[in-house]
Amino acid sequence: MTTNTRRLAMAILNGFDAFFAEYKNITLGAQARFEAADWHGAQRAIRDRLSLWKQKRSIVAEAAYTITGGSVEDRDNWEIAKQEYGELIQHHDNYEIAQSFFNSIYCHVFDHEKIRDIHTFALTSNQERPPIASESILKRYRFNGDNAAEIVESMLDDCEFNIPWEDKHRDVGFIMNVVNRILIPKIRDNDKEIVVETLESLFFRNKAAYLVGRIVSGDFNMPFVLPILHSEHKSIFVDTVLYDPDDISILFSFSRSYFMVDTSIPSEYIAFLHRLMPHKEIFELYSAIGMPKHGKTEFYRFAVNDTQSSEDPYIIAPGIKGMVMLVFTRPDFGYVYKVIKDKFTPPKDMSQEHVRQCYSLVKRWDRGGRMADTQEFNNLAFDRRRFSDELIAELQKEAPSKVRISGNALLLKHVYIERKMIPLNLYLKDCNDDQLHSVMGEYGNAIKQLAAGNIFPGDMLLKNFGVTRHGRVVFYDYDEICPLTDCNFRKLPEPKNDEQAMAIQPWYEVNPEDVFPEEFRLFFSGNQRAKKVFDALHSELYEPAYWQGLQDTIRNGYVADVFPYRKKQRFQQRLSI
């Protein structure tokens, strides 16, 4: 061990602690922004918090050059620094995230090349000290058989909002209706102690706060979430109760923006959330609470373990081949790999950098449950023997600059990884009439909700949308994405003579930002069955006035509501029936 390597390890840990302190400070403002209905401030805070990791990484990487006296690229030093760093964080509350920060500094210094476990914590973690499952993060309420209403009221009071409830007595009544209808029948004959547990910190996202908890009695474990919204009168109300596992899973979906939740030790919250949603992977939960960089580390470990336990080959992903991306997967793997082609298939004529900027925009934007989150990797190594001959040939044909093969190793210089979904065009081939009606409703709603969030998908072909296991439609092809307010929605000009009417190319001037909604009907080319249902549900999307109205609303400062549950689940919806 050397003085320089010790200082390097200390500088990285100091950088991580500085990052986490600023991360916490931004997060601590979430409740105040919610109470003030400062929705634009909330959006800025999300973007600011996402940029913190890279900011601190750059500062620490620059310091590393100074500390090591110019020998920062000596990998032997990093092997020693890793050992010393491991000792420094041995009893750190957030050692696992601190490991990811160390990895990030190393990757920045070496441009993501030759990432080995001897130099980083890419695969290793402190296995002997599992994530903490502290009870100190919980508020607990004991049920004695007839105090359910008192517990519900105490839960709302313990949120400690600084603005009033619109009608707390009404909301308690709504919640008690659910308790009496759903919960009581399940525990009526239970002789075990019944306890309600809620996390002490609320989860903030978009224009809502969420109280997350569970009901426990012996082996019985029922998660629940109370979404809390603003009224029009600077007060708040409970919008519904989510208790179905699928509903709670959708709330924490890969297609939604990250939560802001005040937690000094994120692993404690992850442990509790994992008990509520055992089917979700740890990396999904870290990303959901706003730790996507550590989520990336956990995903890499997950992917390596999953690959080692599988014998399936990597193959070209099913569906129509993309014009911009080459997509591959394994049949038994729930994710796809997306590689930007060296040359795009006409009429696509944007640059590779433009595509990367589009994916970066999606990472920073409010995805609203309609755009898939991605993990971006550089110099990702694979076992070449696991690749089908067809896939190898396709990679070498379409993206030769991104592929390097050496012996049994195949290296991809740049790749996105995204959740696997059924392409909508393939889903439509086998769906029945009920499924068709539901998925076309979802397809139109996805387009509308993206637009309401100031996103225009650009290429809205059916193949660019996927269907999740919950039947939701999610957009995943981002190369033509842009803010809705950057578009100019126009009506198609009427031809003035036969020559114009028969013209193959537009006879009128078309600028890059021009969009003609009447042409959206072409997205259903070859599937008139789907088009008929879509037209009955969403024909307004063919009208320029619809899009222009949304643009006016956005420019006037309105931030759309994003409900991660169906309208029929809302208490007020039930009240109006």
Give the ranges where 29-130 is alpha helix by DSSP (H).
Answer: 30-35, 39-67, 75-88, 95-109
CA distance 361 to 483: 9
Q: Which of 373, 433, 486, 498 is catalytic?
A: 373
SS percent in the chain: helix, strand, coil, step 5:
50, 15, 35
Residue 136 tokens, joined: 């100190």
**Are the C-beta atoms of residues 120 and 106 closer than 8 Å to each other?**
yes
**Are the C-beta atoms of residues 381 and 117 closer than 8 Å to each other?**
no
**Are the C-beta atoms of residues 365 and 50 closer than 8 Å to each other?**
no
Closest CA to 115 of 399, 313, 408, 411: 411
DSSP, residue by residue, 280-312 = S-HHHHHHHTT-HHHHHHHHHHHHHHHHHT--P
The answer to whether 383 is a known catalytic residue is no
**Are the C-beta atoms of residues 293 and 259 closer than 8 Å to each other?**
no
Work out whether the CA dihedral 52, 58, 62, 68 comes out positive or negative: positive
**Are the C-beta atoms of residues 544 and 517 closer than 8 Å to each other?**
yes
CA distance 409 to 415: 16
Helices 528-538, 433-452: axis angle to 10 degrees equals: 50
User: Which residues are bridge partners to 335 per DSSP?
Assistant: 419
CA distance 522 to 540: 15
296 known ligand binder: no
Closest CA to 171 of 151, 181, 156: 156
CA atoms lying within 13 Å on the CB side of residue 194? 17
369 known ligand binder: no
CA distance 161 to 140: 19
Closest CA to 76 of 135, 176, 5: 5
* Strand stretches in 43-167, DSSP E: 138-143
45 known ligand binder: no
292 known ligand binder: no
User: Which residues are bridge partners to 314 per DSSP?
Assistant: 387
317 known ligand binder: yes
**Are the C-beta atoms of residues 215 and 222 closer than 8 Å to each other?**
yes
CA distance 574 to 240: 10
CA distance 337 to 428: 23
Residue 364 tokens, joined: 């920073």
3-state SS, residue 95: helix
On the question of a cis peptide bond just before residue 347, with omega within 30 degrees of 0, the verdict is yes
Q: What radius of gyration do the chain's Cα atoms show?
A: 26
371 known ligand binder: no
Residue type, 515: V
Report, as residue numbers or ranges, the catalytic residues: 373
Query: Would you list which residues are annotated within the binding site?
Result: 317-323, 338
Query: Would you list which residues are annotated within the binding site for ATP?
Result: 317-323, 338
